[in-house]
Amino acid sequence: MKQGGQGPVSDRTTPPPPRPVRGTARFAVAALALAAVAWVARAVWHIRLAVAGMPASGPLDQGGGRHRPPTALEDGYHIVSSLGDAVTVLCAAMFLNWLWRVRDNARAFSGERPRYIWPWMYLGWIVPVMNLWVPRGIVVDIHRASAPGERLPSVVNWWWGLWLAGMLGGAGLIYADDTDDVIGRAYSDVGLLLAADAAVIGAAVTCALVVRTVTKAQQNRLGEDVRPGGRA
């Protein structure tokens, strides 16, 4: 799990020099803001479905392999859900792109190999149990190397707590049911759905603050490392 083995460029014996991260940070923050908006839209549709109530014809899944035609509101939710999924994928790509950059910089600052080798940059988010702490550990190590001696910003823990709440809530980042089942839950138990939505929105907002905080620390460090006639 931890250091050892040969990884890609970021795990070489000699790390590359640190690079500016402001551009990748802006893309990551923009994608996170878009993700928050997408989940606000989901929450709005959950409320609309709950207020409208289940149609007299019953749930979408009628049993025995039979499904009734969806209402216009249910069709709208399918569209909102699909767009939200697409935005989530984009957000993940932009965030990981930023995370790779700041991780490489952190290694250049410290001169030490990362505690978690490169496959955990991806596997840490999806491997059961490990996904409860590995991603946070990666961010903590990056901040420690970028701002040595400074306390870990509380926003990191807020972000991670909200992320776990959204992930483990069973109706947020990782739906236990398909879209039709989620629609049924909006009719019968919208409170749980809205709680998960709130956790995901909060996680997106606090994650954007984490990106800005770590980026600022690294930009400050890059500024300190600049020498006349040289570069960071």
pLDDT, tens digit, 9 for 90 and up, residues 92-124: 999 999 999 999 999 999 888 888 888 999 999
Mean pLDDT of 76-88: 94
**74-97 burial: b if 16+ Cβ within 10 Å, else e:** beebeebbeebeebbebbeebbee
This prediction has a pTM of: 0.84
User: Tokens standing for 162?
Assistant: 């909200």
Task: Report d(CA 113, CA 101) in Å as an integer.
Answer: 15
Domain ranges of the chain: 20-225
- Residue 176 CA to residue 169 CA, distance in Å, equals 9
Q: Distance between CA atoms of 60 and 58, rounded to whole angstroms?
A: 7
Residue 94: what pLDDT?
Answer: 97
Q: Which of 212, 232, 216, 214 is nearest to 224 (CA)?
A: 232
DSSP, res 53: -
Higher pLDDT pick, 220 / 228? 220
> Which of 22-36, 66-80, 103-117, 212-226 bottoms out in mean pLDDT, i.e. has the lowest?
212-226
